[in-house]
Amino acid sequence: MKYLKYLWGKLERQLMMQNEMRERQMAMQIAWSREFLKYFGTFFGIAAISLTAGAIKKKNPAFFFPIVPLSFILTYQYDLGYGTLLPRMKSEAEDILETEKSKLELPRGMITFESLEKARREQSKFFVDK
């Protein structure tokens, strides 16, 4: 019984560590997005002003067209860094886990110890034979 408690505690610590790593990775992704937004926002502002000036000077509205795709990128990055994109993605992922489980299945099913051992033996034969 004492050993089971030890194993359970070890498993809990591993799960806590994995969750901590996941949280740190998510924080880095959000921080990267916010940093990218600063640089891209500056680029977008300069490009929008330059393209608007060019459209007015040349009297050609075609200069406005690059602003459209650039504004989509800017909006996406803002939504990722400061908006509600991550909670919406989490909600969608939870929905997929609940209602579309079949799309998450691995080819040939779940990995088993036997399949790993078989692959290991075949790989060791490959290296021994060469």
Question: What pLDDT digit, counting tens, does each position of 25-39 carry?
Answer: 999 999 999 999 999
| pLDDT higher than threshold 70 for residue 127 | no
Q: What is the mean pLDDT of residues 76-105?
A: 94
CA 83-85-88 angle, to 5 degrees, is: 125
- Report the alpha-carbon distance of residue 32 to residue 85 in Å, rounded: 15
> What is the percent of the chain with per-residue pLDDT over 70, rounded to a whole number?
96
pLDDT at position 123 over 70? yes
Question: What predicted TM-score, i.e. pTM, was given to this entire model?
Answer: 0.71
